[in-house]
Amino acid sequence: MLRRRAMMRRPVARLGAAAVGTAVVVGTAGVVHHHQQQKYAQQDAAAQQQYDQAYQQGAADAQAQQQAYVPPSPEPAPAAPGSDLTAQLQQLAQLHDSGVLSDEEFTAAKQKLLAG
């Protein structure tokens, strides 16, 4: 009977040592996992900080560029084609009325202006 009890204890003792070894491995893995998570969290925080700084710098640059922007001065609107033509026709009419241009010269000059 004594022998039977001793045989029964040995497997239990071996099982206990294996369980302890497994617990040590699991505990070590947990510690390593926790350390890695902290490391990754710090790296993410540093990357986010760099991103935020770059964003703020870009926003400041855009604001400075917007404040420095001077819109181009509007170009004078081209004279309406009719107004320039009208002025030239009036000038021809005055020359005709004053006698500088004959009827034929006035008609030819007027046709030339109207033809473009």
pLDDT, one tens digit per residue, over 60-87 is 888 888 887 777 767 655 555 556 888 8
Alpha carbons 24 and 13: distance in angstroms, whole number:
17
**Residue 11 sits in the same domain as residue 58:** yes
Domain presence at residue 5: yes
Residue 96 structural domain: 81-115
Say if residue 14's pLDDT is above 80.
no
SS3 state of residue 63: helix
Beta carbons within 8 Å of 93's beta carbon, 6+ residues apart? 106
**Residue 62 sits in the same domain as residue 111:** no
**Residue 43 sits in the same domain as residue 100:** no
pTM for the predicted model, two decimal places: 0.38
Q: How many domains, in total, are found in the chain?
A: 2
SS3 state of residue 108: helix
Say if residue 56's pLDDT is above 60.
yes
- Among residues 58, 65, 115, the alpha carbon closest in space to that of 85 is found at 115
